Structure 1
Amino acid sequence: MRHRAVPAKEENSSGLGGQIKEFFMVLLYALLIAFILKTFVLRGFYIPSGSMENTLQVNDRVFVNVAGSMFGEAERGDIIVFKDAHGWVDQSAPVATNPIRTALSFVGILPDTSNNYLVKRVIGVGGDHVVCCSADGKITVNGEEITEPYLYPGANPSDIPFDVIVPENNYFVLGDHRNNSADSRYHIEDGTEFISDGDVEGEVFVVAWPLSHFTFIGGASDVFTNVPENTNE
């Protein structure tokens, strides 16, 4: 029986082509898995400002629980990342873009560095009556004063008075660094102070980078333990 001899050059070429094809298939599957994880499980974000200091630092990379926001609502004390649907950030300012970084961010390989998202702490949920400030200079939620240990050292609960009732399926949010955070308080006059649950990407659960800042974020539900259920209809 005769067998066709394959020249060494042809054999090597065929093997190399198969390896290249296999490499790109593995890469494609990896990108697909990353995109699915970003969309349905967890997503990375970059912290560009000091509005959440000292809980989150400038340049921290954090991950949010996307799945949790799909199947449940945020609670008082949670740190949430949400779309800037109200235009709180000045979008006219030029933003440096890198096509490769943008693409990797889109599929979930790199954290999102765009200015289309914000991160704040939930102080009031749907139906809550949130007021500042009490005689002791504290924020009250449904008439109960809260003591906020996460506040930036030296920062007051708020230097801006407010009195709001949060609509259902919305949140009233503040930064931990109150005198460096243009949060819900600053947007009461223009009627955009509340964040819709539909705009929430998820709750921050870990600071992943830099490693020196690595920590799990569990919210601050204990701060609101004594807050009664809202009585606002």
Structure 2
Amino acid sequence: MATTTAPTIQPHQISYKEEYLPESDGKPMAETDVHREQMLSLLHALQERFRDKPKVYVSGNIFVYYLDENGQRQSVSPDILVVFGVEKKDRRIYKVDEEGQAPQVVIELTSASTKVEDIVTKHYIYANLGVQEYFLFDPYSETMRPALRGFRLKGGEYTPMTGSRLRSEILGLELTVEKGRLRLYDPKTGERLRTPQEAEADRRAAEKKAAKELKARRQAEAKAAKAEAENARLRKELAKLRAKQN
């Protein structure tokens, strides 16, 4: 029986990626339903806010890779991040050294199980990365009082923000807690950024209003057409009467 010899493959014939960077840690996107709903609401509001800004990238729950002080590749996964000065496009991971810009704003939705990581570990990481504003929010108010905290980077260290409404100078927005939810406001207009549910309700209301206006317009047009037809009939009858009189 003839034998087949496997071809010898030289090292240069095999193409390897320079490094493999995981895109997920296999953990749930959020701690609870409330955390997930809050994360998606914030993402929607911020993405809509900067929809027309091609150099603003808004994302969440994505691995951010960076090089530590020893040049080793490390990662952190913010719940919400906003980066100004980079292309708005879909990414599987975010590499700070390749993008040339760390996130300027990060929001973490903390919980009892992530409190130490959010308040200590990530606090240190984000300061070293140069994240200008770092916000922490506990939807259940279990681990923090008040439930919303904000920090602004000054001289390489975070300084706490004060007040019930925290002003983000980077985003041009105010963050506040309403009925246990973190909400975003435009301080110039006083308007609240919409959640997906509110945006959908607005869309349906607008569609209902448009349909009502269309129905009213068609009814008015039909009424006008009927009146015009009646006027035409009367003019015709009048013309006949005049013709008989002549």
TM-score by length of 2: 0.28
Structure with more of its chain in helix, by fraction: 2
TM-score by length of 1: 0.29
